[in-house]
Amino acid sequence: MEKSDLKGTWKLSSFNYSLADGKPDESVKIKNAVRIYNDTHFSVFYEYENGKTETCITNYQLEGEKLTLKILHHTEPGMAGNVFTAITKVSDNKMTHEMNMDGYQIKEVYERIG
């Protein structure tokens, strides 16, 4: 996969978050989410059902499907500086993003909107 496959705007179509014990984290209730990628950075904007919003801005490196990201800015200041690795796949206009954050499993599926 190339960075050009990611470039653009993506809207969340489904998600599954799981706790370290494998049980679904049903406390996460995302209303809308959008990712915007360029060649070096991506931003994620979340809107939750309770009205809360969250923003994350990262730089990233891509090696095949392995995406390594460094958080530059996050709504929660303690997240800035953290580095995570995700498996990111693009097929047609669909992107799957899977990441393990210290046992917390994130799986998000996005559709390209721009």
The per-residue pLDDT for 10 is 98
pLDDT tens digits along 54-93: 999 999 999 999 999 999 999 998 999 999 999 999 999 9
Q: Which amino acid is at 31?
A: K
Looking at the whole model, is its pTM more than 0.85? yes
Which tokens in the block code for residue 30? 């995302």
Amino acid making up residue 10? W
Taking phi first (over 0 means left), then psi (-120 to 50 degrees means alpha), and beta for anything else, what does residue 87 get? beta
**109, amino acid identity:** V
Place of tokens 């929660």: 76
Coil, helix or strand for 3? Answer: helix
Q: Which domains does the chain possess?
A: 3-112 (2.40.128.280)
